[in-house]
Amino acid sequence: MNGILVINKDSKMTSHDVVNQIRKIFNTKKVGHLGTLDPLATGVLLVCLNEATKIGPFVDHLTKTYLATICLGKSSDTFDLEGNITEEVSIDKVDEKKVDEVLKNFQGSYLQTPPIFSAIKVNGKKLYEYARANEKVEIPKRNVEIYSIKRVSDFSYRNHCCYFDIEVAVSSGTYIRSLCYDIGQALQIPALMAYLCRTRVGKFRIDDAYKIDDVINQKYKLYNMLDLLDDYPIIDDNKFSILAKYGRKISLEIVKAKLGENPKRFIIKDNDKLIAIYELVNNIYRAVRVWN
């Protein structure tokens, strides 16, 4: 079985917990996920089985959409409710127009500092390992893209804090915890993420997702690898399939004659079977991944 499961992850489960469960259900070690979800978070987690585990490097462009609750009035070392509170103020009222203006200003590209409690590696060591050992480390900023961001709830006040929900669509690698913290910094108010649900990855919505218990009870849909790559130019031609299976290079002229363009990458398939992904390297197309 080669393909992708769309899982609706429960809170308190790690993404690796989901992978382990799927390994047991399908009795295979070759299982991986696309895009880690924090244990606190719920929602869409794409899980790859067997040959589909090789697809990861080619789908890092997929847009991810989240529903998050921001808490204004306190911040933590993890940027969410799981961490130790590092700053706290009493919030009686916020300027609602200012909040909406700040949210609007985040749309577009910005340099984001990932949370210290994350699995990003610096000098071969995960950031959370530095944090747990109380070791200082310089966290490299990364350029992320906020495609859209908007407030989708009224403001509510409880326990001296202000809460509101946002819906945000972002590029791969964006930390919503950091975004919530940064929104607070722009407002000059301590902030953290109180809730997170990933509602969409690429074209896969939470309505398409199944719980682990569903999968245990044989209720799921296994998507073809091509379903994740349907925005790539595609060649479905037996002659190209033969070239790909032998790892042959393909000239720009042949590809342009077939596709009418010279894309950076394209797919070769045989009916519903993914054969290879080709990439333009030094003015010739080379197979960067071939599936048997």
Structural domains for the chain: 3-60+202-225 (3.30.2350.10), 64-199 (3.30.2350.10), 232-290 (2.30.130)
The yes-or-no answer on residue 165 being catalytic is no
- Per residue in 267-282, pLDDT tens? 999 999 999 999 999 9
Task: State whether residue 96 is helix, strand or coil.
Answer: helix
Decide if 42 contacts 196 (C-beta within 8 A).
yes
Provide the pLDDT for residue 117: 82
What is the structure's pLDDT at 82? 87
Residue 194 CA to residue 81 CA, distance in Å, equals 6
> Is residue 45 a contact partner of residue 14, using CB atoms and an 8 Å limit?
no
When pLDDT is cut at 50, 70 and 90, the band that residue 27 belongs to is: very high
Exactly one of 10, 38, 165, 231 is catalytic; which is it?
A: 38
Is the pLDDT reported for residue 218 higher than 90? yes
Greater pLDDT, 70 or 125: 70
More confident residue, 150 or 35: 150
- Whether the CA torsion 160, 167, 60, 226 is positive or negative: it is positive
Output the average pLDDT for the chain.
94
pTM: 0.92
Query: With 90 as the cut, is the pLDDT of residue 174 above it?
Result: yes
How sure is the predictor about 183, in pLDDT bands with cuts at 50, 70 and 90?
Answer: very high
Q: What is the mean pLDDT of residues 213-240?
A: 94
Say if residue 148's pLDDT is above 90: yes
